[in-house]
Amino acid sequence: MENYQPRLLQDDLYSIPIDEFFKSAFSVDCVIFGYHECELRVLLIQRGTEPFENYWALPGDLVYPNEDLDSAASRILKDLTTLTNIPIKQVKTFGKVDRHPLGRVITVAYLALVEPADLAPHASSWASQTQWHSINEIPQLAFDHRQILDVSLDELKNRVLHEDIWSKVLPSKFTLTQFQEVFETILGKSFDKGNFRKKVAKYKFLKQLDEAQKNVSHRPSLLYTFEAQKFAEMKLKGFSFEF
Protein backbone atom coordinates (compact mmCIF):
# COMPACT_ATOMS: atom_id res chain seq x y z
CA MET A 1 0.00 0.00 0.00
CA GLU A 2 2.97 2.28 0.59
CA ASN A 3 3.16 3.56 -2.98
CA TYR A 4 -0.34 4.92 -3.08
CA GLN A 5 0.39 8.40 -1.82
CA PRO A 6 -2.14 11.17 -2.00
CA ARG A 7 -0.69 13.53 -4.52
CA LEU A 8 -2.60 16.74 -4.72
CA LEU A 9 -1.44 18.70 -1.75
CA GLN A 10 2.15 18.05 -0.98
CA ASP A 11 2.76 20.16 2.08
CA ASP A 12 0.44 19.26 4.91
CA LEU A 13 -0.89 16.02 3.56
CA TYR A 14 2.40 14.24 3.27
CA SER A 15 2.79 14.57 7.01
CA ILE A 16 -0.19 12.25 7.54
CA PRO A 17 0.95 8.63 7.54
CA ILE A 18 -0.77 6.59 4.85
CA ASP A 19 -2.12 4.20 7.47
CA GLU A 20 -4.37 6.93 8.78
CA PHE A 21 -6.31 6.76 5.55
CA PHE A 22 -7.12 3.12 6.09
CA LYS A 23 -8.94 3.49 9.37
CA SER A 24 -12.35 4.24 8.02
CA ALA A 25 -15.27 2.01 7.14
CA PHE A 26 -18.21 2.14 4.84
CA SER A 27 -21.71 0.97 5.18
CA VAL A 28 -24.74 0.49 3.01
CA ASP A 29 -28.15 1.79 4.03
CA CYS A 30 -31.20 0.52 2.19
CA VAL A 31 -34.26 2.60 1.56
CA ILE A 32 -36.86 -0.03 0.81
CA PHE A 33 -40.10 1.51 -0.31
CA GLY A 34 -43.24 -0.56 -0.31
CA TYR A 35 -46.26 0.19 -2.48
CA HIS A 36 -49.61 -1.43 -1.86
CA GLU A 37 -53.02 -0.14 -2.94
CA CYS A 38 -52.26 3.56 -3.19
CA GLU A 39 -50.07 3.59 -0.07
CA LEU A 40 -46.35 4.29 -0.08
CA ARG A 41 -44.37 3.04 2.89
CA VAL A 42 -40.77 2.57 3.91
CA LEU A 43 -39.21 -0.28 5.85
CA LEU A 44 -37.53 0.80 9.08
CA ILE A 45 -35.82 -1.11 11.85
CA GLN A 46 -35.58 -0.19 15.48
CA ARG A 47 -32.03 -0.17 16.72
CA GLY A 48 -31.13 -2.48 19.57
CA THR A 49 -27.74 -1.02 20.46
CA GLU A 50 -25.98 2.26 20.95
CA PRO A 51 -25.51 4.64 19.31
CA PHE A 52 -29.11 5.74 18.81
CA GLU A 53 -30.46 2.79 20.77
CA ASN A 54 -34.24 2.43 20.33
CA TYR A 55 -34.30 4.95 17.48
CA TRP A 56 -35.83 3.94 14.21
CA ALA A 57 -33.37 3.74 11.34
CA LEU A 58 -32.92 2.62 7.78
CA PRO A 59 -31.73 -0.98 7.60
CA GLY A 60 -28.02 -1.00 6.92
CA ASP A 61 -24.79 -2.76 7.61
CA LEU A 62 -21.07 -2.43 7.25
CA VAL A 63 -19.74 -3.78 3.97
CA TYR A 64 -17.66 -6.94 4.21
CA PRO A 65 -13.99 -6.47 3.36
CA ASN A 66 -14.41 -8.83 0.40
CA GLU A 67 -17.87 -7.77 -0.68
CA ASP A 68 -18.84 -5.53 -3.57
CA LEU A 69 -20.94 -2.52 -2.67
CA ASP A 70 -23.85 -3.65 -4.81
CA SER A 71 -23.70 -7.13 -3.32
CA ALA A 72 -23.95 -5.75 0.16
CA ALA A 73 -27.13 -3.93 -0.75
CA SER A 74 -28.66 -7.06 -2.26
CA ARG A 75 -27.68 -9.06 0.79
CA ILE A 76 -29.38 -6.65 3.15
CA LEU A 77 -32.51 -6.54 1.01
CA LYS A 78 -32.65 -10.31 0.87
CA ASP A 79 -32.09 -10.82 4.59
CA LEU A 80 -34.82 -8.33 5.37
CA THR A 81 -37.43 -9.24 2.81
CA THR A 82 -36.40 -12.62 1.40
CA LEU A 83 -36.73 -11.03 -2.07
CA THR A 84 -33.93 -11.64 -4.55
CA ASN A 85 -35.12 -10.52 -7.95
CA ILE A 86 -35.72 -6.91 -7.03
CA PRO A 87 -33.38 -4.34 -8.57
CA ILE A 88 -31.69 -2.28 -5.89
CA LYS A 89 -29.76 0.72 -7.11
CA GLN A 90 -27.48 3.29 -5.61
CA VAL A 91 -28.84 6.68 -4.69
CA LYS A 92 -26.03 8.68 -3.16
CA THR A 93 -23.16 8.51 -0.72
CA PHE A 94 -23.25 10.43 2.54
CA GLY A 95 -19.86 11.36 3.90
CA LYS A 96 -19.90 14.08 6.53
CA VAL A 97 -17.02 13.63 8.95
CA ASP A 98 -19.26 13.58 12.01
CA ARG A 99 -22.20 11.62 10.63
CA HIS A 100 -21.35 8.59 12.77
CA PRO A 101 -20.56 9.18 16.43
CA LEU A 102 -18.18 6.25 16.73
CA GLY A 103 -15.77 6.75 13.87
CA ARG A 104 -15.37 7.74 10.26
CA VAL A 105 -18.04 5.82 8.43
CA ILE A 106 -19.40 6.88 5.09
CA THR A 107 -22.56 5.26 3.91
CA VAL A 108 -23.90 4.49 0.48
CA ALA A 109 -27.68 4.67 0.16
CA TYR A 110 -29.53 2.17 -2.02
CA LEU A 111 -33.14 2.21 -3.10
CA ALA A 112 -35.67 -0.49 -3.92
CA LEU A 113 -39.39 -0.59 -4.49
CA VAL A 114 -41.26 -3.72 -3.47
CA GLU A 115 -44.78 -5.02 -3.00
CA PRO A 116 -45.16 -5.79 0.73
CA ALA A 117 -47.56 -8.62 -0.05
CA ASP A 118 -44.69 -10.46 -1.73
CA LEU A 119 -42.80 -10.68 1.53
CA ALA A 120 -42.76 -13.96 3.32
CA PRO A 121 -42.88 -13.24 7.04
CA HIS A 122 -39.19 -12.70 7.43
CA ALA A 123 -36.97 -14.76 9.67
CA SER A 124 -36.00 -13.53 13.09
CA SER A 125 -32.26 -13.61 12.43
CA TRP A 126 -32.57 -9.88 12.60
CA ALA A 127 -32.65 -8.95 16.23
CA SER A 128 -34.41 -5.62 16.08
CA GLN A 129 -37.99 -4.81 15.22
CA THR A 130 -38.82 -4.27 11.56
CA GLN A 131 -41.84 -2.28 10.45
CA TRP A 132 -43.43 -0.52 7.51
CA HIS A 133 -43.99 3.17 8.09
CA SER A 134 -46.23 5.32 5.98
CA ILE A 135 -44.18 7.90 4.14
CA ASN A 136 -46.19 10.64 5.82
CA GLU A 137 -45.63 9.40 9.36
CA ILE A 138 -41.93 8.92 9.80
CA PRO A 139 -40.60 8.97 13.37
CA GLN A 140 -37.35 10.64 14.32
CA LEU A 141 -34.54 8.67 12.71
CA ALA A 142 -31.01 7.77 13.78
CA PHE A 143 -27.86 9.30 12.27
CA ASP A 144 -28.53 11.33 9.11
CA HIS A 145 -31.16 8.85 7.99
CA ARG A 146 -33.89 11.43 7.67
CA GLN A 147 -31.82 13.25 5.06
CA ILE A 148 -31.07 9.99 3.30
CA LEU A 149 -34.76 9.17 3.21
CA ASP A 150 -35.68 12.57 1.77
CA VAL A 151 -33.08 12.33 -0.98
CA SER A 152 -34.18 8.79 -1.74
CA LEU A 153 -37.81 9.75 -2.04
CA ASP A 154 -36.90 12.37 -4.63
CA GLU A 155 -34.87 9.76 -6.41
CA LEU A 156 -37.77 7.31 -6.33
CA LYS A 157 -39.99 9.87 -8.06
CA ASN A 158 -37.35 10.27 -10.68
CA ARG A 159 -36.76 6.57 -11.21
CA VAL A 160 -40.35 5.61 -11.51
CA LEU A 161 -40.42 7.80 -14.61
CA HIS A 162 -37.23 6.47 -16.12
CA GLU A 163 -37.02 2.83 -15.12
CA ASP A 164 -39.39 -0.08 -14.73
CA ILE A 165 -39.20 -0.44 -10.97
CA TRP A 166 -42.95 0.17 -10.87
CA SER A 167 -43.44 -3.23 -12.50
CA LYS A 168 -42.47 -5.00 -9.28
CA VAL A 169 -45.43 -3.64 -7.36
CA LEU A 170 -48.08 -4.68 -9.86
CA PRO A 171 -49.56 -8.16 -10.17
CA SER A 172 -48.60 -10.04 -13.33
CA LYS A 173 -52.00 -9.10 -14.78
CA PHE A 174 -53.15 -5.62 -13.94
CA THR A 175 -55.61 -2.96 -15.01
CA LEU A 176 -54.67 0.42 -16.39
CA THR A 177 -56.26 1.97 -13.33
CA GLN A 178 -53.89 0.05 -11.08
CA PHE A 179 -51.05 1.15 -13.32
CA GLN A 180 -52.15 4.76 -13.05
CA GLU A 181 -52.50 4.59 -9.27
CA VAL A 182 -48.87 3.59 -8.84
CA PHE A 183 -47.75 6.77 -10.54
CA GLU A 184 -50.29 8.95 -8.81
CA THR A 185 -49.26 7.69 -5.39
CA ILE A 186 -45.54 7.91 -5.88
CA LEU A 187 -45.52 11.22 -7.73
CA GLY A 188 -48.22 12.71 -5.52
CA LYS A 189 -50.30 14.01 -8.42
CA SER A 190 -53.42 12.77 -10.11
CA PHE A 191 -54.19 12.48 -13.78
CA ASP A 192 -57.26 12.55 -15.96
CA LYS A 193 -58.22 8.95 -16.47
CA GLY A 194 -59.12 9.18 -20.12
CA ASN A 195 -56.08 11.15 -21.12
CA PHE A 196 -53.74 8.99 -19.09
CA ARG A 197 -55.06 5.89 -20.77
CA LYS A 198 -54.71 7.39 -24.22
CA LYS A 199 -51.10 8.31 -23.58
CA VAL A 200 -50.34 4.90 -22.17
CA ALA A 201 -52.02 3.04 -25.02
CA LYS A 202 -49.09 3.99 -27.25
CA TYR A 203 -46.55 2.14 -25.14
CA LYS A 204 -45.77 -1.23 -26.63
CA PHE A 205 -44.56 -2.67 -23.34
CA LEU A 206 -48.11 -2.74 -21.99
CA LYS A 207 -49.79 -5.67 -23.67
CA GLN A 208 -53.54 -6.02 -23.53
CA LEU A 209 -54.75 -9.53 -22.74
CA ASP A 210 -57.96 -11.18 -23.91
CA GLU A 211 -59.07 -11.30 -20.36
CA ALA A 212 -61.01 -9.10 -17.98
CA GLN A 213 -61.62 -8.63 -14.29
CA LYS A 214 -64.27 -10.79 -12.70
CA ASN A 215 -66.70 -10.26 -9.83
CA VAL A 216 -66.40 -6.51 -9.72
CA SER A 217 -69.66 -4.68 -9.37
CA HIS A 218 -69.08 -2.43 -12.34
CA ARG A 219 -67.83 -2.74 -15.88
CA PRO A 220 -64.83 -5.07 -15.67
CA SER A 221 -61.50 -3.75 -16.78
CA LEU A 222 -59.35 -5.36 -19.40
CA LEU A 223 -56.11 -6.80 -18.06
CA TYR A 224 -52.61 -5.99 -19.21
CA THR A 225 -49.15 -7.46 -18.76
CA PHE A 226 -45.76 -5.82 -18.71
CA GLU A 227 -43.33 -6.84 -21.42
CA ALA A 228 -39.92 -6.13 -19.93
CA GLN A 229 -38.15 -6.85 -23.20
CA LYS A 230 -40.03 -4.14 -25.06
CA PHE A 231 -39.46 -1.67 -22.25
CA ALA A 232 -35.73 -2.32 -22.37
CA GLU A 233 -35.70 -1.60 -26.10
CA MET A 234 -37.51 1.67 -25.66
CA LYS A 235 -35.32 2.70 -22.75
CA LEU A 236 -32.28 2.22 -24.94
CA LYS A 237 -33.79 4.73 -27.33
CA GLY A 238 -34.16 7.18 -24.47
CA PHE A 239 -37.73 6.54 -23.42
CA SER A 240 -39.12 7.91 -20.21
CA PHE A 241 -42.59 8.71 -18.98
CA GLU A 242 -43.75 12.29 -19.16
CA PHE A 243 -46.48 12.60 -16.59
Binding site for DNA (CB under 7 A): 175-177, 192-195, 197-199, 212, 214-222, 242
Least separation, in Å, of the C-beta of 199 and its own copies? Answer: 16
Buried b (16+ CB within 10 A) or exposed e, 162-177: ebbbbbbbbeeebbbe
Q: Cβ contacts of residue 160 below 8 Å, gap of 6+? A: 113, 166, 182, 183, 186, 187, 241
Stretch that binds its own copies, among 74-82, 206-214, 218-226, 229-237 (CB under 8 A): 74-82
Least separation, in Å, of the C-beta of 212 and DNA? Answer: 6
Q: How far apart are CA 135 and CA 43, in angstroms?
A: 10
Tell me the site size for its own copies, rule CB under 8 A.
54
Ramachandran angles phi, psi of 48, nearest 5°: -105, -5
Q: How far apart are CA 165 and CA 76, in angstroms?
A: 18
Q: Is 16 in the site for its own copies (CB under 8 A)?
A: yes
Q: Is 15 in the site for its own copies (CB under 8 A)?
A: no
Number of neighbouring beta carbons within 10 Å of residue 84: 8
Q: Is 188 in the site for its own copies (CB under 8 A)?
A: no
Binding residues (CB under 8 A) for its own copies: these are 1, 3-10, 13, 16, 20-26, 48-51, 59, 61-70, 75-76, 79-80, 90, 92-97, 100, 102-104, 106, 108, 125-128
